Chain A
Amino acid sequence: MNASTSATPKLYHPKMPATWWLKHPAYFLFMMRELSSVFIALFLVVFLIQIYQLTRGPEAYAAVMRRLGSPGWISFHVVALLFALYHSLTWFTLTSKVQVVRVRGKEVPPSLVTGANIGVWLVLSLVILVVFLVA
Chain B
Amino acid sequence: MTTRKSSEPFWWGLFSAGGVVAAFLVPMHLFLHSIAVPLGWISAEVAYAKMQALVGHPVIKIYLFVLIALPFYHWAHRFRFTLYDLGLKSLRTPIAILCYGGAVLGTVATVWILLRV
Given contacts A37-B79, A44-B72, contact A84 B26 (CB under 8 A): yes
Closest to B34 in A: A77
Whether A121 contacts B24 by the Cβ 8 Å rule is yes
Instruction: Decide yes or no whether B87 CB sits under 8 A from chain A.
Output: yes
Q: How many residues in B have their beta carbons less than 8 Å from beta carbons of A? A: 52
Q: Considering the complex, which residues of chain A in the window 29-81 have a beta carbon less than 8 Å from any beta carbon of chain B?
A: 31, 34-35, 37-38, 40-41, 43-48, 50-52, 54-55, 58, 61-62, 65-66, 68-69, 73-74, 77-78, 80-81
B28 touching A43, Cβ below 8 Å: no
- In whole angstroms, what is the CA distance A78 to B39 when docked? 12
Q: What is the interface of chain A, defined by CB distance below 8 A to chain B?
A: 16, 18, 21, 31, 34-35, 37-38, 40-41, 43-48, 50-52, 54-55, 58, 61-62, 65-66, 68-69, 73-74, 77-78, 80-81, 84-85, 87-88, 91-92, 120-121, 124-125, 128-129, 131-133, 135
Interface residues of B (CB under 8 A from A): 19-20, 22-35, 37-40, 44-45, 47-55, 64, 67-68, 71-72, 74-75, 78-79, 81-82, 85-87, 106, 109-110, 113-114, 116-117
